[in-house]
Chain A
Amino acid sequence: MRRTTWLQELLAPIALVALLAIASSLWVSSADQSKFQTAIVYVAIVAALYVFVGNSGVLSFGQVSFVAVGAFSAGVMTIPAGTKPGVLPTLFPLLRDHSISNVWSLVLAAGLGGVYAFAVGIPLMRLSGIAAGIATLAVLGITYNLLTYWNSIGPGATTLSLIPETTDYWQATVGAISVILVAFGYQRSRFGRQLRAAREDPAAARAAGIDIHRQRLWAFTLSGALSGFTGGLYVHLLGSIQTNQVYLDLTFLTLAMLVVGGISSLLGAVVGAIAISLFTILLGNSEEGIHVFGWGIKAPAGTSLVGVAVVMLVILLLRPAGITGGREFSLPSTFARPRLRSR
């Protein structure tokens, strides 16, 4: 029994994602399916965020920068080379005259996200606490600003459109599960365990010979690569994108999902993303009118956003450590070996 605990921990988040994908593709109207695909991509983004924030305990407002880099690189490079010079004439010639396939664009997005995170992380990972939070927020500000105005690398202040919409249920689900697999593999690896030890007690970890800066840098880089990859998934889902879609709103939303789910477990990341997405979809649909037991309910436009904020607040008040309490999944104790509680 004890030996298979890791399998339960891994299968639970994967099963949730698969269940969400299968159930919504079977029973949800085709008009609503894109909302569920977005939810699955959010799972991937939050799981990528978790790799750094959850394991290190350092709050980063910067991971969406890597989502943005992934989204714009994958988007720009998959617009057909035939139409690109017409819509984006100011691009560097190398970017303007070539295009790559869907899969390669995801690889590119992951690569650029990782390289960018590594470069930024070398100096920034020396910081802790609030200084680290604000410095990563500054990175997000710079990324957003450059992407919005530098029209040699992207669309500038206009919308990037005509991106092939290749993220369907398959791509979203396989993508999200891949991110979960990598995140899980990392957190059980030697590096992941060292970083989690440093999260719990930096002084003791350092005394045990752990190089905290190096471990944080690894996690930041891996999280950056995964974030870039999810940016690629996201842009191929949307088909068109503006820089403010991968800026502060997405940062706050994904961090809120992670904390609401439970910041220090992968299951928490997945549960938080799914729970908040489902509430958003449900409340959003109530604005269009839903029927409950024959009663038509129609909420005024804008109610859903207020409602989601209230739901987040209520969950945090009821469960300050998140829905999962920051724990991974384990079967109820009747199936597991009884353990002494240390606390």
Chain B
Amino acid sequence: MNHVQALIDAIGEGAVFALIAVGIGLVFGVLRLINFAYGQLIMVAAYALAFPGNWPDAASIGLAVLAAVVASLVMERIAFRPLRTADPSTMLVATFAIAYLLQNGALLQYTYRQQGGLGDSIGTLSGLNQAVTIGSLHIRWVTFLAIGAGLVSLGGLALILTRTSIGLQMRAASMDFRTARLLGVKADTVIMAAVAISGVLAAVAAVVLSISSTSVNPTTGFQETIFVLVGVVAGGIDRLVSATLGAFAIGFAIELVGTELPNSGATPFTSNVYMPSVIYLAVIVVLLLRPAGLFARRGQRTVERV
């Protein structure tokens, strides 16, 4: 394992995390809500990928996008909309409840299907799991896909946000929701648009994740989402770009620290089992030094220190 290979793998992991972060950052921008159920949205999309079995790739990806968009819109309608004016902690706990509901719903279906083991295999785009070999370096095609999908979704989103009317309304809503409403921005439409786009992004993330894992189970997407949530806040959640960069950084760091630390050793911080501690410690230091986020604009102080 040479260091260049480790860097390449780290970039691939960072790209996957960045892709997840775009959807979370977009919803946060409009609703000021950290959606803990986003990982379960990815799981729903991954189950939709696994469900048809032998459909053509394009059709099953279409189904996954549809499933994730419908699930996110339903989530918005039954939980976010009625609680929009409630205390932020209420909305946050509502996302816990939805996450719990979806995760246990996924678990419950195995009781009915009476199939051994918890997990369904996914064969969509499995060719991309192959690696290209350049000298001694191996780069899997899915790494390119993750980077490409990340860039395309950020770019596409930038186009939507800057070039369309609904994008303008979204940006207005994320700057000052009340004033935007006073000026005639339809709150429901804007929020539904943002939530639907985040659903599409969840489906894209599900495709990328399931190419490398080749299967889906009730915990798919959960661990990644927790790290991404930490990453977007450490990067700076108030802007989409800084949030995405934060998630990229945490994915990159996770992969790099995991491969560069030795494999064995029980004393804290001496082996790769302590990778999470290293990452979380770094996050705490970043937040203490720059509470608004590592990549936030200088002078931007939306988060107050006491």
Q: Is A131 an interface residue (CB 8 A)?
A: yes
CB atoms of B274 and A149 under 8 A apart: yes
CB atoms of B96 and A134 under 8 A apart: no
The interface-forming segment of A69-77, A97-105, A310-318 is: A310-318
User: How far is B281's CA from A202's CA once the two chains are assembled, in angstroms?
Assistant: 28
The interface-forming segment of B123-131, B160-168, B230-238 is: B230-238
The count of residues in chain B whose C-beta lies closer than 8 Å to any C-beta of chain A is: 52
User: How far is B291's CA from A131's CA once the two chains are assembled, in angstroms?
Assistant: 6
B59 CB to closest chain A CB, in angstroms?
30
Interface 0/1 of A139-169, CB less than 8 Å to B: 1011011101111100010000000000000
CB atoms of A138 and B303 under 8 A apart: no
CB atoms of B233 and A131 under 8 A apart: yes
Q: Is B94 an interface residue (CB 8 A)?
A: yes
Assign chain A's interface to a size class: 35 or more
Q: Is A321 an interface residue (CB 8 A)?
A: yes
Partner of A317, one of B36, B79, B283: B79
Interface 0/1 of A38-51, CB less than 8 Å to B: 00000000000000
A265 CB to closest chain B CB, in angstroms?
13
- In the assembled complex, which residues on chain A have CB atoms less than 8 Å from the CB atom of B92? 59, 259
Partner of A306, one of B34, B79, B105, B304: B105
Partner of B83, one of A59, A149, A303, A320: A320
CB atoms of A309 and B305 under 8 A apart: no
Which A residues between 106 and 134 are near B, CB-CB below 8 angstroms? 123-131, 133-134
CB atoms of A130 and B233 under 8 A apart: yes
CB atoms of A305 and B90 under 8 A apart: no
Q: Is A256 an interface residue (CB 8 A)?
A: yes
User: How far is B92's CA from A142's CA once the two chains are assembled, in angstroms?
Assistant: 23
**What are 30 sample pairs from A and B whose C-beta atoms fall under 8 A apart?**
A124-B288, A125-B306, A126-B306, A127-B287, A129-B304, A131-B287, A134-B229, A134-B234, A141-B277, A142-B277, A145-B274, A145-B280, A146-B277, A149-B274, A150-B266, A150-B268, A202-B306, A252-B36, A255-B96, A256-B93, A300-B108, A301-B111, A305-B100, A305-B107, A306-B104, A309-B100, A310-B97, A313-B98, A320-B85, A320-B90
Q: Which 6 A-B pairs have the closest CB atoms?
A: A320-B86, A309-B101, A138-B280, A305-B104, A302-B108, A259-B93
Which residues does A use to contact B, with CB under 8 Å? 59, 90, 123-131, 133-135, 137-139, 141-142, 144-146, 148-152, 156, 202, 212-213, 216, 248, 252, 255-256, 259-260, 263, 300-303, 305-306, 308-310, 312-313, 316-317, 320-322
Which residues does B use to contact A, with CB under 8 Å? 34, 36, 78-79, 82-83, 85-87, 89-90, 92-94, 96-101, 104-105, 107-108, 111-112, 226, 229-230, 233-234, 237, 266-268, 273-274, 276-277, 279-281, 283-284, 287-288, 291-292, 303-306
